[in-house]
Structure 1
Amino acid sequence: MINTSTRLNRRLFLGASLATAAVAAGCSAERTKPNAGAAGGGAANDGVLTMNFLGPGPTYYRNWNPFTPAENKSIGAAYFYEPLIRINRYAGFTAEPWLAEKWEINDARTELTFTLRDKVTWSDGEAFDADDVVFTLTAPERYKGTSLVVPDYKIARVAKIDARTVKVTMKEPGLGHLVDLATINMLPQHIVSKQDLATWTNDSPVGTGPWTVKAFSPQQITIQGRDDYWGEPIPFVKECRWTVFANEDSGRALVSQGKLDLATMAWPNAQQTFMDKGKGNTYQVFPTGGGQALLFNCAKGATADKAVRRAISMSIDFAKVLTLYPVGTPLANVTGMAEAVWGEKLAPEFRGKLLAPDVAGAKSELAAAGWTVKDGKLVKGGKSYTLTLKTVSQYTDWSTWSDGFKEQLQTGLGLDLRVIKLTSDQHTKQVLAGDFDLAMEFGGGGSLLSDFFAGGSAGLNGGDAVPLGDPATTNAMRYGNPEVTKALNEMASSLDEDRITQLGYVVQRALVADRPYVTYNQAGNFVQMSGKKWTGMPTADSKPAYIPVPYGGPETTMLFQNLKPAGA
């Protein structure tokens, strides 16, 4: 059997349910009264934290039904509902307790037995127990074939052993089941089972989390802290107000003025324009593991030749381009993998190796493959090719960087890159259909190492490639390398960590050699906090035990547990 401290160091878990568990088992404590004022020049602190984690948007909706087929749904469900476990990304992807205090996994990696914490209650005072876990995890089977939106948890059976013990049997063996289960928030059987889920809006969620809804309007949702929360108390943040703003410029102005305490926006030149402008102002970028990338169409035109893909990648000074709209995302490793997240999973020869321009090498690559450049076009075999780059017009960073790519290719290789700026919907549709030469997208994602290279629009599995014109679900580049496909298929089914790591090296080497895409920066979670009322935000460089993004879940709970009034 495998016990609670099972390491998941090849896993990348993204999203709001990442967090640490510095939680006392079954512990509840009286909240500390916030300061009426702040020492040392901080603003008066009334225990209210005003925030936005949705980004620009006109309204909120009041519908926290997790299965609703309605188009308009509420945000922030993870403030009320919690998972069994949480994943500590900076501790080697270690699974740690949350609603479950311990667990065991059988050697076949098919069965997980959870022991639940004692004395956890729902916000209406009812006890949380094994019946709630069974009810939550069997939802896909129970609601199959209905109009409800129900994910596939890949669970075969769930059995209640006693009031605090549940056995979960998965459909397939796998190393990643704990991380998958960490994304599932538990639901109260005594509430949800009595509802018509096709119409229920769940106006006031009853959860195990530390918050309940206090007030709602389309422009602001107010949540208040529970005094009877089972975990460590949140000593100073008594109330959160989720507010809206029209655009990122107005959002940044609100944070700068201290009218918005916490937000999640990319902030250009944050050091000069925000952090240096106010005591305690902080802006941090926490890596997600992958990054933003240039995809190359491997199925048509000049970019079907890897020499062209390599030459373009080599000729661009990506570090210089990123300075055109600096939002704090670091230059990428040549593999696109964030070394702070993946560590030893990077092939040894790529560790510490960042992208760097080599224009002379790029020209040599083109010449060796029989390519020339004439009148801004690539020429070979009597045919000339004009290259296009598709990006998203409303993404200011992408739009700015795309102009930088154009300038770099003109200066370095004499290529006239035609930049086409589309709406997000147009861009997605055209990229998935293979209607591009180069496209700005994301490279790397998912929770397994195999998913990192096989999932998303930049997936590398040749078995996922579809004909041009057909919408791809992954591998929009239509890349095919039999060695890579074989490695990814084996990675997806293997239970041998060491073997998976070695196969990952195979994929990385092919990615760098073939260049179906090049990741140019490390994607990150952006978090900024005004220093007028609050302090306690950790820095990315400190590799904290939790990632302090305010999307809800254990991670956000830990953030709020560590916040205190400015000047206190």
Structure 2
Amino acid sequence: MFKLTRAVVAATAALTLAVAGCSGDSGGGGGASAKKDSSITIFNGATGTIVENWNPFTPTFLQPTNGLIYEPLYWYNFAAQSKPTPMLATGYSWDAAGKVLTVTTREGVTWSDGQPFSARDVAFTFNLIKGNKALNSTGVSLASAQATDDKTVVLTFTKPSFTDEAAVIANTPIVAEHVWSKISDPAKSINPNPVGTGPYKLKTFSAQSYVMEKNANYWQPGKPQIQNVRYIALATADAASAALTAGQVDWMSAFLPGLEQLLKNQKNLTYVNTPALTTSIFTCAGADLGCTGPQTDPAVRQAVYRALNRDQLNKLAGGGFAETASPTMLLPGRDKSWIADPDNLNTPAGPDVAKANQLLDAAGWVKGGDGIRAKGGEKLSLTIQTVTGWSDYISLNDAMTQQLKEIGIELKPTQLSWNEWNNNQVQGKFQLSLDSIGLGASPNPYATYLKYSSRTTEKVGQAAPPSGNYARYQNAKVDAAVDAAAATNDETVQKAQYGIIQTEIVRDLPYIPIYVNSMLTEFSTSHATGWPSNDNKYALPASWKQWDNGIVLTNLQPAK
């Protein structure tokens, strides 16, 4: 798929392969040097002008921010289910009530500016988030963070927070106190001179490309071995295909029509497919929070869900690589045990036009002479936004325009730059938007269902937190169930609460699932080797994937 996504998903896997030295208490540093002339070029879906932002707490940060520059305490690999991988921490434990989390931090780690890292930086990071609501993307209910010594942090929460574990340990970028304590407005700063613990640091930036260079102070011995990593923007899928086959790009994640044929005679090119993200129609659903338009009517959203011919959409836009989604927004294969009602396991493959028409008729939407429905003088016309150059999503819009016309809905696609598209979602300034529901910070569905919680959204015109509730959806039963799931580490109790959530969201559909999109990632071995493969998915390989991008780059070696 030709796009940059915000999928907030961490990872774990062949740990000893992926993160050298993670099992010990100290990390070392320096190690073998990267070849001074070794470099690779990455396309991570950026289109148009690149806008600089290295602030890891904002929705519009550039993707290498988390993974290359900043690191979390732990990391999960969703490409191969396993336990969390130690990064800046080497151990953690909860108290019995789930309100106190004690973390042991890694010794021997240095910031990219040469200053030592310690538990005090971790405590500062969490207190910074606690003191700035706009930075709290997961709605974690932190009461305090205290470094009891240089390698121990005690995080205290206002309520039981077992299900926040992954968000805390695996999806929080740790920042330097000596840098961020001097930033007057951490929610708005673009952080132009980022200082992190990750394998790379910023070298140069322009509106067309930027270059990251090896962090000589990196804590993993001998890593990274690639000296420079260049990121570029491309305009279209055709441009991406051309750049890949011409050897101008070494790593990209894009849906390319005729991919197997395209790579057939390219001995240095290969690809992997790791479907994990549910392509969905995001709706601005919450009228009470300022959303306007026919999509605020649940009957309209239900009718759209019923009218889609997903088999046709997969053939026309997904290239046949997509897999079946679930209206629960979980993955039917991987997450079957978390789905309470078997009837909600899969989305329908074909359309039910009769049911869709029945829903709209009952809701008072009447077809006019032009075949488009109206109600109370309002035409059932909906604008759907996507990003210029996202070829598969543009194809989806074209096909859905025809499919929805059959039930009297006028769909009006619009293409925007990534920055404008993203800002519209964050601010709630849209009717419909094509995006994907990403995986949470762990295999537990909790993070997915936070996207439906009223505590991770804001009124239209105000920024919702990164990967938050962009639909502006409010439901008291869902809020209560999310909080109840967070209060226990008993999976039986959690499943019961998730079942409540699933009943509500399958009926209300603030996010309308289409399919689990392919996650096609292409690699070139011309300049580097050691990429993930179908036999060794040591990280989720998408070039835009935060956290995993750093894992992949630290596992590469210059081609001989």
Bin of the TM-score, shorter chain as denominator length: 0.7 to 0.9
Assess, with a 3 A threshold, how the Cα gap between structure 1 residues 194 and 374 changes in structure 2: closer, same or farther: closer
The answer for the alignment partner of 2:279 in structure 1 is: 291
Corresponding residue to 1:180 among 148, 167, 170: 167
Assess, with a 3 A threshold, how the Cα gap between structure 1 residues 55 and 362 changes in structure 2: closer, same or farther: same
The answer for the alignment partner of 1:520 in structure 2 is: 514
The answer for the alignment partner of 2:290 in structure 1 is: none
Q: Deviations over 1:105-146 (max 9, x none)?
A: 1111111111122222233444322232233333346x769x
Assess, with a 3 A threshold, how the Cα gap between structure 1 residues 443 and 239 changes in structure 2: closer, same or farther: closer
CA distance in 1, matches of 2:297, 2:175: 49
Corresponding residue to 2:309 among 303, 317, 338: 317
Assess, with a 3 A threshold, how the Cα gap between structure 1 residues 74 and 133 changes in structure 2: closer, same or farther: same
Q: Is the 8 A contact 2:145 2:156 kept in 1?
A: yes
The answer for the alignment partner of 1:560 in structure 2 is: 553
Corresponding residue to 1:52 among 32, 38, 43: 43
Aligned alpha-carbon RMSD (Å)? 4.9
CA distance in 2, matches of 1:131, 1:260: 40
Matches for 1:30-49 after TM superposition, within 5 Å: 30-31=31-32, 47-49=38-40
In structure 1, the gaps of 5 or more residues are 1-12, 35-44
The amino acid across from 1:253 in the alignment is A
For the residue of structure 1 that corresponds to 2:229, the secondary structure is strand
State the aligned residue count: 526
The amino acid across from 1:123 in the alignment is S
Assess, with a 3 A threshold, how the Cα gap between structure 1 residues 547 and 232 changes in structure 2: closer, same or farther: farther
The answer for the alignment partner of 1:113 in structure 2 is: 102
Q: Deviations over 1:361-383 (max 9, x none)?
A: 63895699699978664889x99
> Are 1:86 and 2:78 an aligned pair?
no
Corresponding residue to 1:402 among 397, 401, 406: 397
Instruction: Between the two structures, name the one with larger relative contact order (CA 8 Å, sep ≥ 6).
Output: 2
Corresponding residue to 1:418 among 402, 410, 413: 410
CA distance in 2, matches of 1:17, 1:378: 43
Q: Is the 8 A contact 2:9 2:438 kept in 1?
A: no
The answer for the alignment partner of 2:448 in structure 1 is: 452
CA distance in 2, matches of 1:478, 1:144: 21
Assess, with a 3 A threshold, how the Cα gap between structure 1 residues 32 and 348 changes in structure 2: closer, same or farther: farther
Q: Is the 8 A contact 1:18 1:553 kept in 2?
A: no
CA distance in 1, matches of 2:224, 2:472: 53
Q: Is the 8 A contact 1:87 1:95 kept in 2?
A: yes
> Are 1:391 and 2:380 an aligned pair?
no
> Are 1:544 and 2:537 an aligned pair?
yes
> Are 1:504 and 2:498 an aligned pair?
yes
The amino acid across from 1:51 in the alignment is I
Matches for 1:52-451 after TM superposition, within 5 Å: 52-53=43-44, 55-59=46-50, 61=52, 64=54, 76-78=64-66, 79-90=68-79, 94-140=83-129, 154-181=141-168, 182-193=170-181, 205-226=194-215, 229-231=218-220, 233-234=222-223, 236-273=225-262, 275-293=263-281, 295=283, 304=297, 306=299, 310=302, 312-326=304-318, 328-340=321-333, 342-347=335-340, 349-350=342-343, 353-357=346-350, 359=352, 362=355, 377=371, 387-392=380-385, 394=388, 395-409=390-404, 414-422=406-414, 424=416, 440=434, 449=445
Q: Deviations over 1:428-480 (max 9, x none)?
A: 869988986x765656776673553452xxx38799999xx999968887878
For the residue of structure 2 that corresponds to 1:184, the secondary structure is coil
The amino acid across from 1:529 in the alignment is F
Q: Is the 8 A contact 2:71 2:173 kept in 1?
A: yes
Q: Is the 8 A contact 2:324 2:516 kept in 1?
A: yes
For the residue of structure 1 that corresponds to 2:264, the secondary structure is helix
Please state how far the C-alpha of 1:83 moved relative to its aligned partner: 1.7
Q: Is the 8 A contact 1:312 1:362 kept in 2?
A: no
In structure 2, the gaps of 5 or more residues are 1-5, 288-292
> With structure 1 as the length reference, what TM-score do the two structures score?
0.73
CA distance in 1, matches of 2:8, 2:461: 30
Q: Is the 8 A contact 1:53 1:550 kept in 2?
A: yes
Q: Is the 8 A contact 2:103 2:152 kept in 1?
A: yes
> With structure 2 as the length reference, what TM-score do the two structures score?
0.74
The amino acid across from 1:47 in the alignment is S
For the residue of structure 1 that corresponds to 2:346, the secondary structure is coil
Q: Is the 8 A contact 1:297 1:516 kept in 2?
A: yes
The answer for the alignment partner of 1:532 in structure 2 is: 526
Q: Which has the larger radius of gyration?
A: 1
The answer for the alignment partner of 2:3 in structure 1 is: none
Q: Is the 8 A contact 1:89 1:341 kept in 2?
A: no
Mean Cα displacement is larger for which, 347-356 or 92-101? 347-356
Residue identity (%): 22
CA distance in 2, matches of 1:423, 1:563: 36
Q: Is the 8 A contact 1:220 1:244 kept in 2?
A: yes
The amino acid across from 1:323 in the alignment is K
The answer for the alignment partner of 1:7 in structure 2 is: none
Q: Is the 8 A contact 1:16 1:551 kept in 2?
A: no
Assess, with a 3 A threshold, how the Cα gap between structure 1 residues 408 and 257 changes in structure 2: closer, same or farther: same
The answer for the alignment partner of 1:4 in structure 2 is: none
CA distance in 2, matches of 1:14, 1:210: 21
CA distance in 2, matches of 1:239, 1:489: 44
The amino acid across from 1:173 in the alignment is P
Assess, with a 3 A threshold, how the Cα gap between structure 1 residues 111 and 388 changes in structure 2: closer, same or farther: same
Corresponding residue to 2:8 among 12, 15, 19: 15
The amino acid across from 1:184 in the alignment is T
Please state how far the C-alpha of 1:507 moved relative to its aligned partner: 3.3
For the residue of structure 2 that corresponds to 1:339, the secondary structure is coil
